[in-house]
Amino acid sequence: MRKFKLVQSKTEVITPHGGLALIGHCINQMTSLHKTSRDVAKRHGIANIDLIRTYVGLVCLGKSDFEAVEQARHDPYFKAAMGIKQSPSSARLRQRFDEDAVNLLPLLSSASVEFLQNASIPLTELSTGHIPLDMDVFPMDNSDTKKEGVSYTYKGHDGYAPIAAYLGQQGWCLGCELRPGSQHANAEFINVLQRVIPRARQLTDQSLLIRLDSAHDALENRVFLNNQNVDFLIKWNPRKQDVWQWYDEACAHAKWHHPRPGKMEAVFSQQLDDAANTRRVVKVTVRHSDAKGQLFLEPEISLDGWLTSLSSDVADDATVIKLYKGHALCEQFHSEFKTDLDLERLPSGKFATNDLVMGFAVMAYNILRWIGLRGLMQSDSPVRHSAKRRRLKTVMQELMYLACRLVKSGRQLTLKFGSHCPGFSAFNRVYHIT
C-alpha cells in the first residue's frame, strides 16, 4: 500500500461543513432576523445578527458549547455561508448572550414561526381531520453542576425539565421553554398554552387536537382549551380510584374481550358533567395469569383512561386510544434535541442564557427538519430507505457534513463539490427552493 503525502494548502478554502450554506440561506432568505435583531439596542460591538447567525450555525453542526466558535471565527467559509461580517470570540458570545438573553429570545421565537410560514411546511392531519399539537416535558441531565435552575427531576437526576410543543405528525417545534428540574409539568401551564396556541394558529386554519399526558389532567386546562375552541386528548390520571368499582362499571356497560388466555379487557366511555364538555374513555384490564401462563393468587386489575372533547361521532373509543398512541412520537423529538443537537448538558451557568440556547435549538431543529423533508425524501437522495421523515442526525451526516471547496472569482462565490458527491442533487434541490 502506498503512503500519502500530506500537504496543507495555503490558498484553497476546503470545508467539511458544506451544508452551512443551506442554513445561512434559510436564515437570511426565510426570516427577517436581519431587521428584527436591531430592535435589541446595541451601543457598540458586534451586530446582534452576526451573533445569531454564528450560534445557529454551530448548533446545526451539533456544537452547543461557546468554545466551538473559536474554530469557526477564523473559517472564511463559515462566515461566507452564514453571511457573517464580524465573528465573535467565545468570551464575547457568552457575555452578549448573558446580557441580552431576555430580549433576544422573543425574536428567535417569532423567527422560528416565520421560517415555518415561509417554508410552506407540510402538515399531515389525523384521521379525524385535526392537526395534532403535542406538548410534553422531558428531563435534561445536568448533574454535578451548579447551574442556575438545576434541581432534582422526576427521572432521579439533577437537571432541567423543559416543556416542548410539536405541531403536526412531522413534529415541527413551536417552542421549547426551559424550566427548573423540580417544577411540576402543570405549573404555569396555562401561560405556556397562551404562547403556543397563537403560533399554531399562524401555521394552520385546520382544527387542532392537543395531546397531553396525565400530568396535565386538570379541569382548568380542559376549560381553557374548550374556551379557545381547541379539541383535547389528555391521559386520565386515575389517582386513588377504586379499581373494583370500575370493574363493576365495565361489567355493566361493556363487553369483555380476551386478547390472550388469562387476560380480558373492556373499553367504554362516559360523558362527564363539567364545564369542558369532557368525554372519558376508560379501559379496564383484568389479568388472571401472566403472559407465560403463571396463575395469580388473585386477579390483577389495571385502569387506563383518556379525557377528550371529541364526540363519539368523530372518534369512537378505539379511535381515541389509537390517536393518543401517536403522542409517543414526542419521545423521539426530545431525543433529537438532547443527542443530535448535543443539548443534554447546556453550556451556561445562567438560567436565562440556557433558555436562549433552547430558543436557538428550536430554530436549528426546524431548519434541519425542513431540509430533511425537502432534500432526503426523493429517489436521488443519499439515504435510500423509505421513511416519513429523516432524523436530524441523518440530515447532519448527509448534508451538513458535506465536503466542498469555496472558490472566489471576482465578486462571485462558488461551491465546488466532488464529481461523485452523493448529496449534491439533494443539496442543489434544497438551495434553489427559494
Burial class from Cβ neighbours inside 10 Å (0-12, 13-18, 19+) for residue 231 reads buried
pLDDT of res. 237: 93
Rounded to whole angstroms, how far apart are CA atoms 355 and 344? Answer: 13
Q: What is the mean pLDDT of each run of 10 residues along the chain (434 residues)?
A: 84 89 95 92 86 97 94 92 94 95 96 96 94 97 95 95 96 97 96 97 96 96 96 94 93 93 95 92 96 93 96 94 95 95 95 97 97 89 81 94 89 89 90 81
Q: Is the dihedral of CA 235, 239, 242, 244 positive or negative?
A: positive
Bridge partner residues of 172 (DSSP): 167
CA–CA distance from 67 to each of 20, 71, 301, 368 (Å)? 19, 8, 55, 22
pLDDT of res. 197: 97
Place of cell 473559517: 75
pLDDT of res. 347: 95
CA R_g for the chain: 25
pLDDT of res. 434: 64
Cell numbers describing residue 19: 451544508
Bridge partner residues of 160 (DSSP): 140, 180
Among the listed residues 339, 391, 338, the one whose alpha carbon sits nearest the alpha carbon of residue 368: 391
Q: Which residues contact 1 (CB under 8 A, 6 or more apart)?
A: none
pLDDT of res. 43: 67
pLDDT of res. 387: 79
Rounded to whole angstroms, how far apart are CA atoms 183 and 385? Answer: 41
Q: Does domain 131-338 have CATH number 3.40.640.10?
A: no
Instruction: Give the domain ranges of the chain.
Output: 13-119+350-431, 131-338
Among the listed residues 236, 157, 165, the one whose alpha carbon sits nearest the alpha carbon of residue 194: 165
What DSSP element (H or E) covers 176? strand 172-177
Among the listed residues 405, 392, 400, the one whose alpha carbon sits nearest the alpha carbon of residue 430: 400
Query: Structure pTM?
Result: 0.94
Cell numbers describing residue 272: 362527564
> What's 399's DSSP letter?
I
